[in-house]
Amino acid sequence: MMGVVVGGLSFQGFSVELSQARAAESADVYVNVFLAGGFPDIQGMTLAGQEVSRVNAGNQVGGGLRVGIFPQVTERVLGVELEYFGTTGKLSVVNGSGAKGSADLITLNSMINFVVRKPSGAVRPYGGVGIGYSGAILHRADFPGRANREVDSTPGFAYQFIGGLHWDVSTRTFLFAEYKHFETAFQWKGVALDYRANCAVGGIGWNF
């Protein structure tokens, strides 16, 4: 009886190891987490129906999570990532009539990235494009013509361009640094803007 149990456990352990080995042979799979610093450039903003004459968008900070796969069928050169990240910062504006407004601005973004990279080596440059969904939240908003001064959210289509450098620190662990250019557009009641941000990204990841 004991021999059967031990043999069964050994066989199950061998099966798990074999499955992991086959997965590793068929694709590179990883997860990473990162911090991001955003430098927004607000364009085409209107406040109470009038063009904004001056915008001060403070630098934003945030972070995110990614899961990626580079399959063997693409020689591990072309891969796909699922990414979720957010940033927060402050926004203050003046329109053509001198009306002022301010708010805390939070962006929450769900993206799918298509990435090309160097397939091997301890240091790997990469670049790609992404598309997805962005949600923007105005918090503590004080804009003329708006009754809602607490929390207001709106969705928007988003896209981004990324480029970076990945380097291995062990067999399973890597670090990366990245530049990201992100664009979307938002429209709340009485407030609309085109949101663009250049972001500096850095993080750590784990291969499976």
In the chain the domains, ranked by start, together with CATH numbers, are 27-207 (2.40.160.20)
pLDDT digit of tens for each residue in the chain (208 aa)?
444 444 443 445 544 454 454 545 689 999 999 999 999 988 888 877 778 878 888 889 999 999 999 999 999 999 999 999 999 999 888 877 777 888 899 999 999 999 999 999 999 999 999 999 999 998 888 877 666 667 888 999 999 999 999 999 999 999 999 999 999 999 887 788 899 999 999 999 999 9
Q: Select from 58, 79, 74 the least CA-distant residue to 126.
A: 79
Does the pTM of the predicted model rise above 0.85? no
- Strand ranges for 14-77 from DSSP E: 27-47, 50-57, 60-71
Q: What is the rounded distance in angstroms from the CA atom of residue 59 to the CA atom of residue 52?
A: 19
- CB atoms under 10 Å from CB of 39, counted, come to 14
Count how many Cα atoms sit within 13 Å of the Cα of residue 75 in the half-sphere of its side chain: 6
The two tokens of residue 153 are 């959210």
Q: What is the rounded distance in angstroms from the CA atom of residue 19 to the CA atom of residue 184?
A: 41
Task: Kindly state the helix (H) or strand (E) to which residue 21 belongs, with its residue range.
Answer: helix 2-26
Contacts of 92 (CB under 8 A, 6+ apart): 55, 56, 100, 101, 102
Burial of residue 99 (number of CB atoms within 10 Å: 0-12, 13-18, 19+): middle
Contact 92, 102 (CB under 8 A): yes
